[in-house]
Amino acid sequence: MDNPLLEDQPQPAFSRIRPAHVEPAIDTLIADGRRLIERLTASTDEATWESFVQPIEEEDDRLARAWSPVSHLNAVMSSDALRAAYNACLPKLSEYGTEVGHNESLYRGYKQVHDTDALDSAQRKMLANALRDMHLAGVDLPPDAKARFKEINTELSRLASLFEENLLDATHGWHKQLTDEADLAGLPESARELARHFAAERDLEGWVLTLDSPSYLPAMKYAHSAELRRELYAAYTTRASDQGPNAGRWDNTHIIEDLLALRHEQATILGFSHFAQVSLETKMARSTDEVMGFLEDLARRCAPQARRELEELQVFASTHGGPEPLAAWDVPYWSERLRQARHAISDEELKPYFPLDRVLDGMFQIAARLFGVRIAAATGDVDTWHPDVRFYQVTDDNGEPIAQFYLDPFSRQKKRGGAWMDVCTNRLMSARRRQRPIAYLVCNFTPPVNGQPTLLTHDEVQTLFHEFGHGLHHMLTRVDYPAVAGINGVPWDAVELPSQFLENWCWEREALDLFAYHWETDAPLPASLYQRMRSARHFQSAMQTVRQLEFALFDFRLHLEYDPAQGSRLQQILDEVRSELSPIQPPAFNRFAHGFSHIFAGGYAAGYYSYKWAELLSADAFSLFEERGIFDAASGRAFREHILERGGSAEPMELYVAFRGREPSIDALLRQTGIMTASAPTTEASER
C-alpha cells in the first residue's frame, strides 16, 4: 500500500497518515538502517565522514522524519488505534537503538573518523558525543550485560509510554458537572463560558469543570467554594494513583517503582553508583555534589522568604474570613485575593490586552528586532492534523527561507496537556540532501468561545514565548548535522536557556507596546496597569521558587539515593524535601509524583534541576540587554550567533562565554526573582 510515512515530502502528509501505516513504515526503515550499517561496517579502516558518517546520518534522519509525525499525532490527536500502533513500534525502536548503540564495528568506525579525518568543530563534537553515547549505551559491555541492557531499554520505553497514557486517561477520565450556577460563584465569565463549552461537548446540562489547565487553574484561583476547590484539588493531585476519585484505575505506582529500579540497574551495569551520575554524563553540571550544592544554596536563600510569604498570606486570609490554617487548595484562591488587594491586579483584568493573534504578531516582531528574522503565515494549502493548526514560514532579512513551524494553540479532548516544542524535521545539509528545520509548537490555551477571541493570561503569554524560544533554538541553527543541530546535542541543563531567556520580553514596556492592546477598544495597556503588573511580578516569588526547588530536589534525590533493598522510598523522600523546604505541607492523599511526567515519561530524570540551572543562565544573559537596551541589535546578533545558531556543536559554557564575555553569576537570578539575600550573601562558591 502507499505509505505517506515513507514519502520524501517537505512536510508530513498528516491528513493521509493512518494507524495502519505506522508499523510497516517503521519496520521498513529499521530494516534499511540495519542493511546500511552492516554494509558500512564490513570494513572501517578507510572510513571517512563522507563515506561512513554522512550516510548513517541521512538514514537516521529518514527514520526520524517518519517517526516524528506519529509521535506527534499520538500526543495531539490520540486515538485507541493510533496508540496501539505507536506502542507496537516503541519496543522495535528501542531494540534498534540499543542494537546500534552496542555495535562495536560502528563504534570503531566512528572512532576512526574522529581520530584521523579532517573534521570541522561541529563534526568533531558530533562524533565525540556519539562515542560517549555509545559508551553509555553499553557498547563495551560483555555479551550477557549487553543483553540485559537491551531488555531494560525496551522495558523503560514501554513503561514511560504507559505512564503518560495513564496520566492522560486519568486527566480526561474525571470531570465535575454543575447544574446550579451558584456553585460557580467567583469564577470569571471566561471560565464560565469554557465550562458551558465543555458541558455542551459532553451533551450535559449546565457547566463542566475538568482537570485540563484552562479549566482547573481558574477554578482553583477564583472559585469561592472551598469544598469545590478541595474536590478539584483532590482529583488533580491523585491522578493516576492509588488515591482519589479514580483510585487504582490508572495507577502509576508500580510503573514508577519499575522505572526507578531499571534505571538504577542500568547505571550499575555501566559501572556507576546511581542513575544521577549517568544523567550528568550528558549535562553541563560536572558532579552530583555541584547539583545538590546549587539547589541547596538556592533553597537556603529562598526558604526563609517563602515562609514569610505564607505567613503574610495566612494573616490576610484570617482577617478576611479565611480558614486557619490554610489548606493546600486554599493557597491559590487566597493568593489571588491577596495579589488583587496588594497590587489591584488580576488575570481577568490583563487578559483583554492579550488576544492571541496580537500576541503572536508582537512576538514575531520581537524576534525580528532581536535576531533579524521574518515570520509570516504560509500561503497556500498546508496539510495539518486539525483545523486549529497554523503554519508559518521563517525567513532571513533578505527573504531567504530558514525554517517553518506549526502552531497548535488550543486545548481539546484527546490532546496531551501542557505546552511543548518538538522537532518535525532537523536541518541537514549535505551533498545529497538539503533540508531546513521544521518545528511543532503546542499549547493548551482556551479556544475561542461565543465569538470572542482567545485571550491569554500573562502567564500564558510567557508560556507562548517560552516555547517559541525553544522553537527559535531549533529553527535558527546553522549547523548542518542533525545530531548537533538546533536543540540536538545541547545538554539538558542548558537547553532551557533560549526559552527562559525570551520570557523576559513579556515584562518590558517597550516589548509590550508591540502587542498589548485591548481586543475590543484597541487601547494600549494602560501605564497604571503595567506598573501594577510589574509590581506584582515578584509576588510570592520565593514560594514559587521553592516549589520548583521541591520538584528538583525530589527528582535528584530519588535517583541519587535509590537503594534496591529499600525501593524508591518515593513518598518518604518527597515528604522529607517538603518538610525541609516547603512552607505548606499538602494533605496525605496528595500523589504529586504519579503525575510527574517530566521525570517518569519525559527526558528530565535526575535533570529537573535544569530549569533553575538554565534560569540562572537566562537571567544573566538578559542582564546584558538590561545594560544596553532590550532591543540592542548587537546583543541580539551575538545571542543568535553564539547560542541559537551553534546548537549542540560546542560545549554550552564555551558558547555562553563567547556571547557574554564571562561565566554566569547567580546575582542576576536573585535580582530578577526578587529574592532577598541578606541572610546568604553571594560568594564565589555560589557561582559557576
Name the residue with cell 495597556. Answer: 525
One domain, residues 8 and 135: yes
Please tell me the predicted confidence (pLDDT) of residue 679. 37
What is the mean pLDDT of the segment spanning 390-404? Answer: 96
Q: Which three cell numbers stand for residue 199?
A: 458541558
Percent share of the chain, pLDDT over 70: 98
215 and 291 belong to one structural domain: no
Average pLDDT on 547-561 reads 98
Domain boundary among 208, 237, 266: 237
> Given a cut of 90, is residue 341 above it in pLDDT?
yes
Are 270 and 146 within 8 A, CB to CB? no
Q: Output the 3-class SS for 214-275.
A: HHHHHHHHHCCCHHHHHHHHHHHHCCCCCCCCCCCCCCCHHHHHHHHHHHHHHHHHCCCCCH
Looking at the structure, do residues 71 and 100 belong to the same domain, yes or no? yes
pLDDT tens digits for range 85-135: 999 999 999 999 999 999 999 999 999 999 987 999 999 999 999 999 999
388: nearest Cα among 416, 404, 407: 407
Q: Work out the pLDDT band at 474, boundaries 50, 70, 90.
A: very high
26 plus 102 within the same structural domain:
yes
* Alpha helices (H) in 41-142, listed in sequence order: 54-76, 80-101, 104-116, 121-136
What pLDDT digit, counting tens, does each position of 148-192 carry? 999 999 999 999 999 999 999 999 999 999 999 999 999 999 999
Domain boundary, last residue among 608, 638, 659: 608
Statement to judge: residues 82 and 181 lie in one domain: no
- What is the β-pairing status of strands 401-410 and 438-445? parallel
* CATH classification at residue 84: 1.20.1050.40
Lowest-pLDDT choice from 65-74, 367-376, 676-685: 676-685
Domain membership of residue 280 (yes or no) is yes
- For residue 8, being part of any structural domain is answered with yes
Helices (H), 102-188: 104-116, 121-136, 143-172
Tell me how many domains the chain contains.
3
Asked if residue 198 and residue 104 are part of one domain, the reply reads: no
Would you say residue 198 lies in a domain?
yes
Q: Residue 682: is its pLDDT beyond 50?
A: no
Does some domain include residue 163? no
On the question of pLDDT at 206 being above 80, the answer is: yes
Angle among Cα 188, 583, 232 to the nearest 5 degrees reads 35
Do 258 and 327 lie in a common domain?
yes
Reported confidence tier of residue 686, pLDDT bands at 50, 70, 90: very low
Q: Rounded distance, CA 350 to CA 360, Å? A: 16
CA–CA distances in Å: residue 330 to residues 220, 244, 313, 514, 586: 8, 18, 10, 37, 11
Q: Which domain holds residue 95?
A: 4-140
Same domain, 297 and 216: no
Domain-located, residue 652: no
pTM assigned to the model: 0.87
Longest CA span, the chain: 80
* Annotated catalytic residue 467: yes
Higher pLDDT, 16 or 46: 16
Name the band, by pLDDT with cuts 50, 70 and 90, for residue 676. low
Q: CATH number for the domain including 559?
A: 1.10.1370.10
Say how many residues make up the chain. 688
- To 10 degrees, the CA torsion angle through 329, 330, 334, 339? -30
- Domain-located, residue 666: no
Co-location of 9 and 136 in the same domain: yes
Residue of 90, 101, 107, 106 whose CA lies nearest to 150: 101
Neighbours of 572 (CB within 10 A): 11
Q: Same structural domain for residues 267 and 228?
A: no
Give the span between the Cα atoms of 66 and 35, in whole angstroms: 18
Whole-angstrom Cα distance, residue 400 to residue 397?
7
Q: Which of 99, 164, 309, 467 is catalytic?
A: 467
For a pLDDT cut of 90, what percent of the chain falls above it?
92
- For the cut 70, the answer to whether the pLDDT of residue 144 exceeds it is yes
Q: Which of 529, 525, 351 is nearest to 454 (CA)?
A: 351
Separation of alpha carbons 277 and 255, rounded Å? 22
For residues 21 and 129, state if they share a domain.
yes
In a domain, 281, yes or no: yes
**What are the backbone angles phi and psi of residue 563, rounded to the nearest 5°?**
-130, 115
Q: What is the pLDDT of residues 364-375, one digit of tens each?
A: 999 999 999 999
C-alpha cell read off for 318:
484570617
The mean pLDDT of 642-667, rounded to a whole number, is 96
Same domain, 86 and 23: yes
CA dihedral 610, 359, 505, 671 (to 10 degrees): -70
Residue 683 has pLDDT above 80, yes or no: no
* β-strand pairing of 420-425 with 438-445: antiparallel
For residue 1, pLDDT beyond 80: no
3-state secondary structure of 140: coil
The answer to whether residue 389 is domain-embedded is: no
Distance CA 509, CA 319 (A): 35
Q: Is the pLDDT of residue 677 over 60?
A: no
